Amino acid sequence: MQKVRVLVVDDHTIVRDGIIALLSLAGDIEVVGEATNGNEALKLVSELHPDVVLMDIAMPIMGGLEATRRISKEYPKTKVLVITQHDDKEYVFPVLESGASGLISKAGASSELASGIRSVYRGDSFLSPSVARLLVENFQNSAGERNKQDPYSRLTGREREILKLLAEGYSTQEIAEMLVITPKTVEGHKTNLMSKLGIHNRIDLVKYALRKGIISI
């Protein structure tokens, strides 16, 4: 069985020893070298050509982010799996932007380490649950901010329905009959939706609906 060849990079001897001891329990993973900083890591990658580099971030001489960028650019066949005690967005996003194939929090490393190495070796990505949760929350927050900026998201379902019918040229009376509501209710929805959209006449409303893709010519 071909083993996954791993280079362990961390400036703390006790951490490296612990990682190596843990990986020795996995029959399909072999630690082929260890380094204490980014410079040493680059040198050993060029000599050993490991399949995966297990990379710490905060190290002297050359930190893990710069080393990861260099490895990703100069040795694209070698995958980098970052292991760090930081799982907040100030660290997570720069790590992913550096070209790392995954990120593991040291808090959960013992249970995730081997599976993370196997994943990135196969060409997949791997994120600790805490890191994945952070990315999901960031996406949701970004989506929420985008929705706040789009006034269309503030319209109710009925207002969107009436907006479409108005843009298609139906009169207030026709819309009232179609939706089985009173003309006065239609006018109320019309006033509200135009106020929310910042639109003041029917021509601009039609233009908005066309731009938004609500109607087509």
Give me the pLDDT at residue 4, please.
96
Q: May I ask the CATH class of domain 151-211?
A: mainly alpha
- What 3 state SS string does the chain have? CCCEEEEEECCCHHHHHHHHHHHCCCCCEEEEEEECCHHHHHHHHHHHCCCEEEECCCCCCCCHHHHHHHHHHHCCCCEEEEEECCCCHHHHHHHHHCCCCEEEEHHHHHHHHHHHHHHHHCCCCEECHHHHHHHHHHHHHHHHHHHHHCHHHHCCHHHHHHHHHHHCCCCHHHHHHHHCCCHHHHHHHHHHHHHHHCCCCHHHHHHHHHHHCCCCC
- The answer regarding whether domain 4-140 maps to CATH 3.40.50.2300 reads yes
The count of other CB atoms within 10 Å of the CB of residue 179 is 15
At 48, give phi and psi (nearest 5°). -100, -25
Give me the pLDDT at residue 16, please.
93
Tens of pLDDT, residue by residue, the chain (217 residues): 789 999 999 999 999 999 999 999 988 999 999 999 999 999 999 999 999 999 998 898 999 999 999 999 999 999 999 987 765 556 677 887 889 998 887 766 677 889 899 999 999 988 877 666 666 665 566 655 555 567 888 889 999 999 999 998 899 999 999 999 999 999 999 999 999 988 888 888 888 889 888 987 6
The residue ranges of every structural domain in the chain are 4-140, 151-211
Give me the pLDDT at residue 112, please.
84
pTM value is: 0.62
Handedness of CA 57, 11, 125, 74 (dihedral sign): positive
